[in-house]
Amino acid sequence: MAALRDVAKKAGVSASTVSRVINRPDTVPTTTKSRVLKAIKNLNYHPNKFAQRLRSHNVDRKLVGLLVPDIQNPFYVDVVKGVEDYCFERGYAVLMGNFMQDEKKGQMYLEVMQSEEIDGLIVAPIQEHHKTISQFKEKKIPIICIDRGLKNIDVDVVLVENEEGAYQAVDHLVKQGHIRIAYVGGIPSIPTTLEREKGYSQALLDNGLNVDDELIKYGDSTHLSGKELTEELLQLKDRPTALFTGNNLITLGALETIHKHKLHIPGDIAIIGFDDMPWSISLNPPLSAVSQPGYDIGKRATELLFQRISDPKRSPVKVVLKTKLILRESG
């Protein structure tokens, strides 16, 4: 591995000159510069990042941390893709952590990212993370939140109109004549679950229907939980005629249970879920869904992150993206 001094020797200059060529090219005359550049090329020299970093902590690491709750959820895959594309264009790499809604796992990743001295963090937090994340704040490492903000800490956040999105879906269901509409939610402690529940209830209320607690279920935002909760709902003596599901994994689980019972959609039971998927159209039946712009969310979050990296003191903003109700055949 060629080092700075090798380049210096080859070019017949001192190490400092080489360093200047690399870091402040305009401070060295063209003739010297070209000689150094040639030596660099010749030796295939690449600065040692560890030495650079050790010497000056303020140099960019070109590394962004990304912490997502569940990589198997297609929505987050879109987000990841958005982040990755944007970073790639700017020569940044992504250090990814998939914490599976697990606090300990999230904690571990946060520590790794801290010791890697990432330039910034994009995270879809679950409540418990607050304390460790605030360490980032103290260390002046920019944080952008996705999907949900953070209590007690003022950070940039990009999210969607969860309440509004849920409202539209449920309102549509009511307009179709449904009276008993259930909500199959995710983890009750995370804001999105609650906001969607709020939109659900409001739509019911606004249409003169009352909210029946029996029809509101919470789980853990997984496929399995979607299956089980739907099963419970179908066991009810006065079973719902429509389902509003809290995310795509839950929707898929619900679908499975409904099919197991040989129920017809939307004849026997209608279903609209949060999160559209590329293959929604190929499901049985083609699924109506509240579409979230996952890719854009990732992209916007990264945009915000780079803004904050270059201007750490700009005041935090909140970007709210719209959802879109996509009607197909399930409800």
Partner DNA sequence: TTGAAAGCGCTAACAT
Partner DNA sequence: ATGTTAGCGCTTTCAA
Footprint of a second copy (CB under 8 A): 46, 48-51, 53-54, 62-63, 71-72, 74, 77-78, 80-81, 84, 88, 91, 93-98, 105, 108-109, 112-117, 223, 252, 255-256, 259, 278-279, 281-286
Smallest gap from Cβ 21 to DNA, in A, equals 9
Contact partner, 23, from DNA, a second copy, none, Cβ < 5-8 Å per class: DNA
Residue number with CB closer to a second copy (97 or 120): 97
Residue number with CB closer to a second copy (90 or 318): 90
Distance CA 245, CA 219 (A): 11
Give the position of tokens 């293959």: 279
Residue number with CB closer to DNA (115 or 152): 115
Q: What is the dihedral of CA 238, 242, 245, 249, to 10 degrees?
A: 100
Q: Which two tokens stand for residue 170?
A: 């449920």
Give the binding site for DNA (CB under 7 A). 1, 3-5, 12-17, 19-20, 22-23, 27-29, 31-32, 45, 47-48, 51-52, 54-56, 58-59
Residue number with CB closer to DNA (59 or 112): 59
Contact partner, 98, from a second copy, DNA, none, Cβ < 5-8 Å per class: a second copy
Distance CA 145, CA 191 (A): 13
Residue number with CB closer to a second copy (206 or 268): 268
Contact 263, 269 (CB under 8 A): yes
Contact partner, 210, from a second copy, DNA, none, Cβ < 5-8 Å per class: none
| Torsion 223-225-226-227 (CA) sign | positive
Contact partner, 22, from a second copy, DNA, none, Cβ < 5-8 Å per class: DNA
Residue number with CB closer to DNA (50 or 237): 50
DSSP state of 178: -
Smallest gap from Cβ 164 to a second copy, in A, equals 27
Distance CA 268, CA 253 (A): 17
Smallest gap from Cβ 137 to DNA, in A, equals 20
Contact partner, 206, from a second copy, DNA, none, Cβ < 5-8 Å per class: none
Contact partner, 95, from a second copy, DNA, none, Cβ < 5-8 Å per class: a second copy
H helical segments located in 157-213: 162-175, 191-206
Contact 310, 304 (CB under 8 A): no
Smallest gap from Cβ 230 to a second copy, in A, equals 12
Contact partner, 281, from DNA, a second copy, none, Cβ < 5-8 Å per class: a second copy
What is the rounded radius of gyration, in angstroms, for the C-alpha atoms of the chain?
26
Contact 302, 83 (CB under 8 A): yes
Q: Which two tokens stand for residue 17?
A: 């000159």
Contact 155, 129 (CB under 8 A): no
Contact 302, 64 (CB under 8 A): yes
Contact partner, 15, from DNA, a second copy, none, Cβ < 5-8 Å per class: DNA
Contact 217, 232 (CB under 8 A): yes
| Torsion 35-90-95-302 (CA) sign | positive
Residue number with CB closer to a second copy (16 or 135): 135
Q: Which two tokens stand for residue 241?
A: 């005629």
Residue number with CB closer to a second copy (168 or 230): 230
